[in-house]
Amino acid sequence: MTFPPIRLLGPADLPACSDLGESRSWPSEPPKWRLLHEIGHVFGVDAPDGDGLAATAVLVSFDRVASISMVLVAPRFERRGLGRAITRHAVNAAGDQVVYLHASKFGRPLYESMGFEVDGGCQGHAGTFADDGGPGASPGSLSDVFALDLRAQGVDRRRLLERLGTPFVVDGGFAFGVDIGHVTVIGPVVATTGDQAKALIRGVARTASGEVRVDPDFRFPALTAWVRERGLVPAAPAPRLVLGGRALPGDAAMRFAPFTRAVG
């Protein structure tokens, strides 16, 4: 079967992106797709049968770092090399940037065969937050978070942060609460201590309507245990892989949880 060439998708392709995700049993997340179109490059392959998209991948770049996410192939077009081809396209578009992604157990063998190496990861937890009554962060100003995020990530991510709404802040840390369509994502969680991270999560959770989600980094098992005690249910682990095993910049000790696995 011959597929159309990989192309850069635009806002008109948002419904098709959502449809493709749902065909893979992903939840409906139009706000997340919209955000990724705004801050990144969304690549796609049109289905040769004219029914939507056959594949997608997203590249989001900040200075010398780039993330790849949303690598999806329609079930009826599996095992035809589309996943590898569109991932390679995104890698080539990244140039000499440090490229990373979060992998499922199904995608990991493909990425490792392309030269990606495991470098930590995170695990999603979602559900109704059972408040323990501890201290919670309060809403603050965006101006409070730019320098902290730069320290944690090692790159300027202002154009992402400016789209996430009002941050919750503590002295030395921050987090956002973003409705992505079916759940409020708590992240990124940037802090200098585990107690700060808990206060940030409480602050966001107390104002969220419905379920919340947070993806604690593997480096913080105590935080992972705590969110489970608060009633959040773990999903499958998501190892982070970096192309060529290159080092990610920034202070990893401050990165308690990413915004989403699509954007760290």
Domain end position, chosen among 79, 96, 113: 96
Instruction: For residues 91 and 31, state if they share a domain.
Output: yes
Instruction: For residues 135 and 231, state if they share a domain.
Output: yes
pLDDT in 10s for each residue of the chain, 264 residues? 799 999 999 999 999 999 999 999 988 899 999 999 999 999 999 999 999 999 999 999 999 999 999 999 999 999 999 999 999 999 999 999 999 999 999 999 999 999 999 999 999 999 999 999 999 999 999 998 999 999 999 999 999 999 999 999 999 999 999 999 889 999 999 999 999 999 999 999 999 999 999 999 999 999 999 999 999 999 999 999 999 999 999 999 999 999 999 898
Instruction: For residues 43 and 89, state if they share a domain.
Output: yes
Domain count, the chain: 2
Beta strands 255-257 and 189-190 are antiparallel
Instruction: For residues 61 and 149, state if they share a domain.
Output: no
Instruction: For residues 74 and 16, state if they share a domain.
Output: yes
Tell me if 21 is assigned to some domain. Answer: yes
Tell me if 196 is assigned to some domain. Answer: yes
Beta strands 98-102 and 65-73 are parallel
Torsion of Cα atoms, 6 then 244 then 220 then 180, to 10°: -10
Instruction: For residues 144 and 213, state if they share a domain.
Output: yes
Instruction: For residues 70 and 133, state if they share a domain.
Output: no
Domain containing 189 — which CATH number? 3.40.630.90
pLDDT digits (tens, 9 = 90+) for 155-194: 999 999 999 999 999 999 999 999 998 899 999 999 999 9
Instruction: For residues 59 and 131, state if they share a domain.
Output: no
Helix (H) or strand (E) holding 148: helix 146-153
Beta sheet of 173-175, edge-to-edge order:
138-139, 168-170, 173-175, 189-190, 255-257
Tell me if 241 is assigned to some domain. Answer: no
Instruction: For residues 128 and 226, state if they share a domain.
Output: yes
Instruction: For residues 32 and 158, state if they share a domain.
Output: no
pTM for the predicted model, two decimal places: 0.96
Tell me if 262 is assigned to some domain. Answer: no
Domain end position, chosen among 96, 115, 148: 96
Domain span including residue 68: 7-96
Angle between helices 14-23 and 30-39 (to 10 degrees): 130
Q: Tokens at residue 256, please? A: 């308690």
Instruction: For residues 71 and 191, state if they share a domain.
Output: no
Tell me if 1 is assigned to some domain. Answer: no
Domain containing 75 — which CATH number? 3.40.630.30
Tell me if 264 is assigned to some domain. Answer: no
User: Residue 243 pairs with which residues in a beta bridge?
Assistant: 116
Tell me if 82 is assigned to some domain. Answer: yes
- Residue 104 DSSP class: -
Instruction: For residues 161 and 77, state if they share a domain.
Output: no
pLDDT digits (tens, 9 = 90+) for 229-243: 999 999 999 999 999
Tell me if 103 is assigned to some domain. Answer: no
